[in-house]
Amino acid sequence: MNIKLTKIVSDVQRKINFSGAVFVKDTNTILVDKCSGYANRSDQLKTNSATRFGIASGCKLFTAIAICQLVEEGKLSFDAKLSDCLDLDFNHFDEKITVHHLLTHTSGIPDYFDEEVMKDFADLWIKNPMYQIRKTSDFLPLFQNKPMKSQVGERFHYNNAGYILLGLIVEQASKLAFSDYVQKRIFNTANMTDSGYFSFDSLPPNTALGYLDHIDGSWKTNIYSLPVIGGPDGGAFITVTDMAKLWDALLKHELLSELYTNQLLSAHTQVNDGSFYGYGIWIKKEKNRILKFHIMGYDPGVSFHSAYYPDTSIKVVVCSNKSEGAFEVMRVIEEEIKILFGNFYSKDN
């Protein structure tokens, strides 16, 4: 353990009343393994390193890996048209949409939760009961018959619906339910023994409940604020140590060959200055230098950040069962890594 870094993490956890788990590891050494708060407030069950946390959109990376695996096996192509991949009607969608467009959020299709116009994900499930969303195709009525939002390839627009379509493509190409595919080909391969897509009404032991805190000090769980089970765009549960295993397996080419790993980790579209998107993963660059690969997820009662820093081989995982907190912990860790290992990371992270 790194005593100084652990103390810094402990200090910020107390300052912001963080609830969750933090794991920092370089190639062979665990630098931080620090938990705080409750996985279950009613029973006062504390979080620990083996606690399962929801990671919201963090698992778009799993969907992208699945697509790349199927491309590598010759069952798909990045240039394949949506209409050629799915036996479904998308009468309002442009026929030029490809798998690549969906992976990079440049398809222009409408989103079922458009972050440019909607603020609270929980509001979506008032008219669309969350307990009815149990399989990938259940999301289709939320966006399938809406008009295009923008032209294909015109711009980056973060899009959950695009990853729902990618999940359906995985199902059609593999003949497996999406969650079964990820379990078999990604979680099992990476030895992520405690991770999975779990239903809210049958959660396994040591799974953190997500909490929404109110100004008056009261709170409620997020059980009615999210689909009952996660899918291709978000909602898997992982442990911090399992997420570190995912990074290891990906970077050691255990999930994809070197060629397709590089394809996944390439900057395919620019989001803003210094920020790019690969396939299911964010990339921070400074000139031609990659500072970090990272994923993140935010839902009601969920905040998650994880990153790999190629200059130092450090992996950071921050999981929280509150709507906020992961970003602030991630920020102070990055600042300390910069001090410990040199000025590899730009100040404007």
Domains and CATH numbers, the chain: 3-341 (3.40.710.10)
Main-chain dihedrals φ then ψ at residue 104, nearest 5 degrees: -105, 10
Q: Tell me what pLDDT residue 164 has.
A: 96
Q: Tell me what pLDDT residue 132 has.
A: 75
Q: Tell me what pLDDT residue 303 has.
A: 98
Burial of residue 72 (CB within 10 Å: 0-12, 13-18, 19+) is middle
Burial of residue 124 (CB within 10 Å: 0-12, 13-18, 19+) is middle
Give the residue among 328, 182, 320 at the shortest CA–CA distance from 249.
Answer: 182
Q: Percent of the chain, pLDDT > 70?
A: 94
Q: What is the pLDDT of residues 289-342, one digit of tens each?
A: 999 999 999 999 999 999 999 999 999 999 999 999 999 999 999 999 888 776
C-alpha triplet 22, 209, 53: angle, nearest 5°: 35
pLDDT range class, residue 26, cuts 50, 70, 90? very high
Alpha-carbon distances of 58 from 74, 243, 318, rounded to whole Å: 26, 10, 11
- Round to the nearest angstrom and report the end-to-end CA distance of the chain: 25
What gap in Å lies between CA 234 and CA 160, rounded to an integer? 8
Q: Tell me what pLDDT residue 287 has.
A: 84
What gap in Å lies between CA 81 and CA 98, rounded to an integer? 4
What gap in Å lies between CA 182 and CA 200, rounded to an integer? 19
Main-chain dihedrals φ then ψ at residue 291, nearest 5 degrees: -85, -40
Q: Tell me what pLDDT residue 348 has.
A: 42
Q: Tell me what pLDDT residue 347 has.
A: 42
Question: Is pLDDT above 90 for 100?
Answer: yes
What gap in Å lies between CA 57 and CA 296, rounded to an integer? 6
Q: What is the mean pLDDT of the chain?
A: 93
Whose structure tokens read 């295993």?
245
What gap in Å lies between CA 69 and CA 61, rounded to an integer? 12
Give the residue among 326, 332, 336 at the shortest CA–CA distance from 18.
Answer: 326
Question: Is pLDDT above 60 for 349?
Answer: no
